[in-house]
Structure 1
Amino acid sequence: MDHHIGSRALRTSIAAAAAIALSGAAHAGQTAAPCDGDAFQTILSPAAATFDARAAWLDRRTLLWPGTRTGARIRLYHAAQATLTAPRGGKVAGADGFLPLDTVTAPVPVQLAEPWRYLGDGMQLAVRDADAAAIGALHRGQLLLVNEAEDGTVLDATRIQAAGALDDLYAAAESVPDLGATPRGRTTVFKLWAPTAQAVAVCTYDKGNGPLRAAVPMRFDAATGIWSTTVSANLDGKYYRYAVDVLAPSVGVVRNLVTDPYAVSLTTDSRRAYIADLASPRLKPAGWDRDAAPAKVKAQPDMSIYELHVRDFSIGDATVSAANRGKYLAFTEAGSNGMKHLRALAGAGLTDLHLLPVYDFGSVPEQGCVTQRPAGAPDSDEQQRMVGHSKATDCYNWGYDPYHYNAPEGSYSTDPADGAKRVLEFRKMVMALHRAGLRVGMDVVYNHTYRAGQDEKSVLDRVVPGYYHRLDAKGAIESSTCGECGNTATEHRMMGKLMIDSAALWARQYHIDSFRFDLMGHQPRATMEALQRRVDRDTGRHVNLIGEGWNFGEVADGKRFVQASQLSLNGSGIGTFSDRGRDAVRGGGAGDAGRDMVTRQGYVNGLVYDPNGSAEHTADEILKAADMVRVGLAGTLRGYAFETRTGDVRALRDVDYAGQPAGYASAPGEVVNYVENHDNQTLYDLNVLRLPATTSTADRARVQMLAAAINAFSQGVAYFHAGFDILRSKSLDRNSFDSGDWFNRLDWTYQDNYFGTGLPPAADNGKDYEMLKPLLANPALKPAPADIAFARDAFRDLLKIRASSTLFRLRTADDVKQRLRFYNTSPAQVPTLLAGRLDGNGYAGANFKTVLYLINVDNADRTIVIPEEQNKRLRLHPVHTSPTAADRRVREAHYDASTGRFTVPARTAVVFVE
């Protein structure tokens, strides 16, 4: 009886849904054309009630409902509109019908259940064979799982997280190659994956801000969930949006006027998507088809990277034309101070320039933004107050707030209203950097979107509500990666496809050479490996992948899948940033605040040997830090072994790092070594906090270069933040993502590092103002131009040394095991002196029989005897003895061949070669 009633109502519902889909007609009695007006959303049928989503579809027929009682009557109610109500203790109302469900007693296959185990244990239910064919259509309306008493009284009710069913029902969509708008010959094809939509139309426009050209209904393909239409005109250079009628659970059935998740360009502020054939000559700068990256990277450890923000690069550079400052085209002005700086770095051996986000992001007005130029005392709060007043309208943000993944950001274009300009200008930037001798990397943020739900600046969730984002056990969107952002679910087929398709597009169409993945640990390892295969296949070259492999949030410790995280990626060839060497070198950790910023001195800034008087440290702390620095120098390799401070020989996997193995990589290319990037304070600012206040600015510059030397000599990828080499300061700002140009400036004239330009923004720094004010007011802490020039030139010398020999860039773990040896490691070591020997015998590109580096971080000369190095023909590296060598102190380093005695001057890194 139950099944008969449910099926009869179901047939009516399917017929109605099919009619809506095929006709593309206005929904629920609406008479307006689907593209009329400019409202981002029209509510067609308000939700009669809202529900949590505490159950999940495991596949198209199997459901999991955690916490339910057995023995009650469970039904799947459905309604084409958002009319369902199910008050606890009352009766279900507003249903078109229901499906009875069977209890699953046999174990569900592990691969089916594993992605949903975070929900907890519960009843597993199944749709009956007779109803299986109807499920796809029912997902286009409202579905509610209800636990009832025999008399129909509602005991519990929940929505159902639909991703498992949609991934199963529409798996064929994963192989569709041309989602988005594709102009071909005399036609334009539009394809949008929207399997839960009730109707879709494409709205086309001749201009980015002009009237509607046409509204064309689209047809639904039940095999893929894709809506498509072919327009009998080549619309290359026109604009479009979609009108999507879809059930948004929190609102009801809505008509969303929304851009395309696959848009390749946009008009101002991303209001309309741009139709473009990216292979068209009109979108190619002269010589684009011949553009190629310099052949500097034969293996991933060859990479040395400079991380740079597009706007930071040129906004303060008076040698760039005013129209191009802060824009892509600034990189095309070869005679500017900034480009001279980049060419000098490339000439010294830098291989890659990594750009902070350059996809379309949502936080900056693309036209009419303001730029603050405040003034005030070094310790004044007036500067940050002025910056704060215009945060919502200023021109600055790092850009970790993705809006459209496949389109260049418009605020960096000279004309964001023209969808072609940003494509052309981005390509011109890439060509200019390639010609300057640098490969181009891109920082990508596929782990979250700027907005989710039914917000006007949400795209994915307004096309397929509840699918593209990762949900918690109640169906709310997770936000662990960014407080106001929605975490994406790249474990779902079509979100994973979007990420892979997007990276392939950038690599193929924009000649991107490498990618840095923000919070990559929130992606599945399998998806990252699939992405690697795809970008390599599409480009016919190896595209280098690195990312943040931090393990946290709702996916931590493999709760939902095997992550692309530090401990889970070994053997993949994908590199992750290492916090091991970073924290040992600079002290403390990324989250330090308050007095910890002062007390937690590190290996280069005085731990034990040069105390700042803020805390007591034990002798073992400097020994432990030295061991952790050696972990980084050895590439953080799991199997590499050395004598630790205790006298024991241990593999790095057995050296403790905050409860984790210090060594986690299987190959040198799987680790990225760094001491500073865009996040947190710059190293110069941290050293203001951690070095004794009496430390001279000349010594502060030397300390910065000690950190650079450790990074340059470490096996793996070397990563540096732009301005690191010129003592960049952000006036002690710990989080400058939205601090405006004022706190993010770079000076390519090398006269100022911008320390002491006001108290940093109060939101992230205000609680520490009393500690920061006297530091900012102290002129003795601000470097002179001579200090900046020393750091600039010493940094380039270190790049030259790294580039001079593959011994600093060993290819395999076995190479490191066989060729790297540390001296001065016993319990009786000189703890402030690191000594590493690299054996070059028979190694391609070694250029030396032996390389021996010594790094003395102490503020006094230090001497060690290495008997194994007696009677060798060691001499200073040619870079050290060059007439242009920046660090003259290094020439005071002494090697006594008769005894194997080495003396290294204070705060000096020196390389001997044989």
Structure 2
Amino acid sequence: MNERRLQNAFAESSVEIFVATKENIDEVQNFFIKQDKTFFKFFAEVVYDCHYKLTLKGATIDPKKNYEVGIRGADSISVRMRNILNEYTYEGKLGNGYSIEKSEFILWAPTATKVDLLIYNTAEDAEIPTKHLMIAGENGEYKATLESDLEGKFYMYELTFADNSQTITVDPYATAVSVNGKRTAIVNLQKTNPKNWDNDKFIAQKSPTDAIIYELHIRDMSMDKNIAFENNGTFKAFTEVQLTTKEGNTVGLPHIKELGITDIHLLPSYDFDVIDETRITDDTYKGRKYNWGYDPQNYNVPEGSYSTNPLEPTARITEFKEMVKAIHEHGLRVILDVVYNHTFSIFDHAFGKIAPEYYFRTNDDGYFTNGSGCGNEVASERPMVRKYIVDSVLYWQHEYHVDGFRFDLMGLIDTDTIKMLTSALQKVNPSTIVYGEPWQAGGSALPEYLQTIKGTQKGNNFAVFNDNFREAIKGGSDDETTGFATGAPFLEPQIAIGVAGSIDTISSSPTETINYITAHDNLNLWDKVVKTQGQNENLGFITNQEGEDVEIAVKNATPYHIVNEENPFSNELVQRSVLANAIVLTSQGIPFIHAGDEFLRTKFGDHNSYKSPDCINMIRWENKDKFIKVFNYYQGLINLRKEHPAFRMANEELVRTHLEILRQDNNVVSFVLKDNANGDNWKNIFVVYNSNEITCEVELPVVGEWNIVVNGSKAGTEVIQTINSHAVLAAPLCITILYQ
């Protein structure tokens, strides 16, 4: 038996093989390269310890063939096709093109020796398909055209490789699938359009800083059984716009409109894994019915568990469009949360069944890397992967009229890809908003200079989440640590930086920073404030998160028993939570709030509710009745921001000209937006954040008459009080705003 000394071999170009060994090889001439019985001449060189580059002489590698690299007297291993596939770039359209007369099918599979198109009449597993041999092209593509009307049928691809292994896969460019995403469906997309869909248009926005983003999970909005939603947990629930709470307050989409939101950020709504779509309405089913959706399966298809009929491939498509249309009819925009940085699995996903070493990143020793924390990371920097991502967002923009995109773990996607897709989207719709998380969940094989991290968005027309500002305001995401709004001293300079749009640190313009406190990840705002003030036990927050015990624990919790519903602003927890988002809503940049913050939503202390039951995650609309005064306060702050462009400056020059920080000490930050900032009809606007537990006297920019429009219990544009003084008494734990 030969000694095992080889670790891995990758074909990196048509003439280059990168080899990893378990130990240093003293005599590199002992390597050999062969294909079948043919041995190749090559030049070998050491790259670094145990890693070598072998360059072929007078021959090239064919990615459809099997090659071996070995060491004479020891072992040999198969060469895996990696960056060589960059040389097989196909620029044309991929996927299924349907018409009544014919259907075209194009798949990029450069390592396959044969591809068969499998056509099924149904989605049933037992059906034997008809096979159609696809024709190979010069750039790794395979094509087939069938001259008949295939609407309502299903298809898969069967790939055969040089070692005679086979895989069967859905089309990575699938636009419709069977239940649970198992087979690709052939549909007439024109028939999926709701009535007057052609009249549905993007909602224009002058600047990204005009956006007020509301992050929402599809299912969360409509699972409250106290509201008479007919289509709980679905896209279609967004079309139910006549419902109210017991007190007659709006719920669902009309509530979001009433709040003053401009953009609804929907958590992942494409087809994701882990949820059995056939059991989603089965009350006897004890399996998982809930997931945030960060488990990508079919990127270009809406999620079936959000459909009223996941068994019918067109239902989810039509219902997603109906949702978008309803949102647009309310004057709001749709932002789709997209997760191109990883897939739920490697070898069960279409990418892994076609060319795993190409679509996913690997390290030099041949292992798949895990910068996502989910087991893999998609190699966006490679041309055909980049093409896929760009094609995908353009498809959602074209077919579903999506107005913007939020990128999960944007730090794992190379900046050139983000710039390319941003440019392509904004060429179609100049108001398209693009933003994402400028970090990773672990070490990545993507070189740091390619990563889309804080600062890379400067001048590139997209934005990133500003965790610097976030932590300065609230502290850490899941622990007891505090920030400016939750009780920490000495953070005034960091708050002042964020107020100015972070133009002295991570951004070059306020249009490049997403200002926020909490999102779906980690503790939500109310729960974070509760934890910083040591109130978890007092409010009965749960510790057990398994099975029915969760529902019992939720019923026994008393998350608001210390809050006076008639006077909620007398409670310190309320004051601190409202102050946190008041800072976000009055700072330069793009404000972002998590659904339910406006009426003190709780998840009962669950800091990672991605698979928790509805009793944890659903929005409880009774909170709006209980805390209508808090809702009104948020509504007033949002209206103030929308009516006064001074809070929405769109470039560095305007900020440096019109925003002046006046105080940043002793738990007080004050600033003035001066000289009719950004064309505002108020000459001067004075803003004070007081995170002290006592009233503070704060000097005004100039002595004279000032109108107070925001204090500790009221917010908006109407004058609450007029003073003529050199200073204002800023109430504790709140924001105060005055104007001249």
Show the 5 A alignment for 1:169-180. 170-171=88-89, 173=90, 175-176=91-92, 178-180=93-95
Of 452, 470, 473, the match for 1:582: 470
Q: Which residue of 2 aligns with 1:858?
A: 692
Change (3 A) 1:892 1:819: same
Work out the percentage of aligned pairs sharing the same amino acid.
27
Contact 1:894 1:904 in 2 (8 A): no
Show the 5 A alignment for 1:703-722. 703-722=576-595
CA distance in 2, matches of 1:875, 1:50: 81
The residue type equivalent to 2:403 in the other structure is D
Show the 5 A alignment for 1:43-442. 54-65=8-19, 68-78=25-35, 95-103=36-44, 122-129=51-58, 131-132=59-60, 135-136=61-62, 139-148=63-72, 153-154=73-74, 157-168=76-87, 170-171=88-89, 173=90, 175-176=91-92, 178-209=93-124, 211-212=127-128, 214-221=130-137, 223-246=138-161, 253-278=164-189, 280=190, 282-295=191-204, 297-322=205-230, 324-337=231-244, 340-369=251-280, 390=286, 393-442=287-336
Of 494, 507, 510, the match for 1:668: 510
CA distance in 2, matches of 1:567, 1:541: 22
CA distance in 2, matches of 1:552, 1:69: 38
Contact 2:708 2:722 in 1 (8 A): no
CA distance in 2, matches of 1:511, 1:488: 26
Contact 2:259 2:634 in 1 (8 A): no
CA distance in 1, matches of 2:166, 2:429: 42
Of 687, 707, 732, the match for 1:875: 707
CA distance in 1, matches of 2:452, 2:32: 39
The residue type equivalent to 2:18 in the other structure is L
Q: CA deviation at 1:334?
A: 1.2
Helix, strand or coil for the counterpart of 1:709? helix
State whether structure 2 residue 673 is matched by structure 1 residue 838.
yes
Helix, strand or coil for the counterpart of 1:817? helix
State whether structure 2 residue 433 is matched by structure 1 residue 544.
yes
1:778-812 Cα distance to aligned partner (Å, 9 max, x none): xxxxxxx64x2222111111111111111111110
Helix, strand or coil for the counterpart of 1:553? coil
Of 347, 353, 366, the match for 1:475: 366
Larger Rg: 1
Q: CA deviation at 1:97?
A: 2.9
Q: Which residue of 1 aligns with 2:456?
A: 568
Q: CA deviation at 1:234?
A: 2.7
Helix, strand or coil for the counterpart of 1:54? strand
Contact 1:580 1:631 in 2 (8 A): no
Of 483, 487, 493, the match for 1:602: 483
User: Which TM-score applies when normalising by structure 1?
Assistant: 0.72
Change (3 A) 1:68 1:545: farther
Change (3 A) 1:120 1:311: farther
Contact 1:220 1:226 in 2 (8 A): yes
Q: CA deviation at 1:300?
A: 1.1
Q: Which residue of 2 aligns with 1:733?
A: 606
Q: CA deviation at 1:69?
A: 4.2
The residue type equivalent to 1:433 in the other structure is I
Contact 2:706 2:722 in 1 (8 A): no
1:808-844 Cα distance to aligned partner (Å, 9 max, x none): 111101111111111113xxx3x22221111243733
CA distance in 2, matches of 1:372, 1:742: 14
Contact 1:895 1:903 in 2 (8 A): no
CA distance in 1, matches of 2:688, 2:4: 66
Contact 2:106 2:142 in 1 (8 A): yes
The residue type equivalent to 1:267 in the other structure is S
Q: CA deviation at 1:120?
A: 7.4
Change (3 A) 1:194 1:51: farther
Show the 5 A alignment for 1:791-830. 791-825=630-664, 829=665
CA distance in 2, matches of 1:120, 1:351: 55
1:250-292 Cα distance to aligned partner (Å, 9 max, x none): xx643222111000011111111112343x2x11100111102
1:93-142 Cα distance to aligned partner (Å, 9 max, x none): xx44332212479xxxxxxxxxxx9x87843332223x22xx22xx2233
Contact 1:445 1:518 in 2 (8 A): yes
The residue type equivalent to 2:53 in the other structure is Q
CA distance in 2, matches of 1:70, 1:533: 50
Contact 1:57 1:163 in 2 (8 A): yes
CA distance in 1, matches of 2:434, 2:598: 24
Q: Which residue of 1 aligns with 2:400?
A: 510
Q: CA deviation at 1:696?
A: 4.9
Q: Which residue of 2 aligns with 1:460?
A: 351
CA distance in 2, matches of 1:824, 1:560: 37
Of 503, 507, 513, the match for 1:637: 503
Q: CA deviation at 1:896?
A: 3.9
Q: CA deviation at 1:488?
A: 0.7
Q: CA deviation at 1:318?
A: 4.2
The residue type equivalent to 1:100 in the other structure is K
Helix, strand or coil for the counterpart of 1:807? helix
Contact 2:42 2:56 in 1 (8 A): yes
Helix, strand or coil for the counterpart of 2:152? coil
Root-mean-square deviation (CA), in Å?
2.8
1:482-523 Cα distance to aligned partner (Å, 9 max, x none): 33x321111111111111110110011100001000000101
CA distance in 2, matches of 1:165, 1:50: 26
Show the 5 A alignment for 1:616-631. 622-623=489-490, 625-631=491-497
User: Which TM-score applies when normalising by structure 2?
Assistant: 0.89
Contact 2:238 2:252 in 1 (8 A): no
CA distance in 2, matches of 1:357, 1:632: 28
CA distance in 1, matches of 2:32, 2:377: 31
Greater helix proportion: 1
Contact 2:649 2:678 in 1 (8 A): no
Q: CA deviation at 1:731?
A: 0.8
Q: CA deviation at 1:908?
A: 2.3
